[in-house]
Structure 1
């Protein structure tokens, strides 16, 4: 069973934007900037500098904050000009707060750990810079009730310059089920992928074939394919969890063996009840349902 939560792409922050602009003004490449820092006794990788200026990560450790102080000097900035743009360090250990608004079906702590591994630790907290205009999921259920594949077509509109990827988190159906294969079919490719085998979760980047500026739209298609037969048990349901509103969501289920009954269900919060509506099978034995201006919440189809 593959079920997904839709997150925004890794967004820029005030710190990353200021750092990127300062580096551009200096005319220094990241390699030369790294050499300047090392000459000042600051060992730091080019990868870390790249992540900082792109907003994929922010300096939090004491050694990283020391590096930012030297960066300010190397780039000719006033002391504290970059440091003042960083948020307070996040608490660590057992007292760590749950990240942002909780999701309905995904364990918050496991999700946050997975996002950190994929290089998007602030994805749950960042300002949304890609609006999901339209999404169409088509799920294939094989004989025996296993989920063979899911194909998705999504349309985004950027609300800021420089947006080039979307972050997807999906549930394979428990720790026993292996992760499905993710393939970009149209206008995107697979970026970084991290798997949590204990909770049966995967986080993956879908990198666009071009960078979007403010107001531009992008259409992508991708597929998640399970190994089989036998295919992972679908538990007689497929759903998508939205953390932000979607203008239009079309969910289509195609069955090799026609079920007796199907229904749509929605949930809008961890404590909210479930709303149901019966659905009619079409002449091909499939079923679909449409949500308009839906979210946050869970929208799915279940069957007997």
Structure 2
């Protein structure tokens, strides 16, 4: 794109050189997802479902929620009813699929895109975390299982959506859910011999997601497809809550590890998701957005 073309697309240039135009806010339009279609893996509950809801509230026409159970959870059903009550025409669709099955996932996302005539947003949020193990004795099968879901499954999800964006010749946004654990190693207390953070498989998988997004961003940028990662810190969900409620000392420990002195809430990721999915982030690709309460600042 030439300098002249760049200048002509500038809102400042357009509004200041055409006195007939009346000033009005455009920022909310930039965040709007009206009429768009999204797919979110790991969206039967927890963070994935919260992200799917955020897309609907921002205006997505249809958000397909992909997860392993044959039937959606009660949490998903309740969220679906809430979305219908918004009255903006948005709705959730539940799809049973295993993100580890590349061809099946490709086929199902292609069916979604063919039905809608487009695919605009992809959030690869499916992931697993196994019980902690000493890194020198980590079971091979568990390591492979974590990598299959957290790395291979994320790639297959991004591929499935990206292929449809290319097919329909539409720009799009692919958001891979990583973790701060892909950039740092969660601290283990040597004094208490606490192994709550002995997560060599999880940390490795999330680090792979960061490099995966950078690599995909470089390949897909010329096609108008942005690929970024969101790296949450410690977030209190039903899943982590079930673990922490049995070990209250860990809640205090994890909370003390960031400057804000608390765990995050799932809804505190919504703003970043809405931004990355929308035109407001159109020049952001290959980036990792950390939402960790400042955990990495210390």
The normalised TM-score by structure 2 is 0.26
The normalised TM-score by structure 1 is 0.26
Structure number with the bigger relative contact order (C-alpha 8 A, sep ≥ 6) is 1
Q: Higher strand share goes to which structure?
A: 1
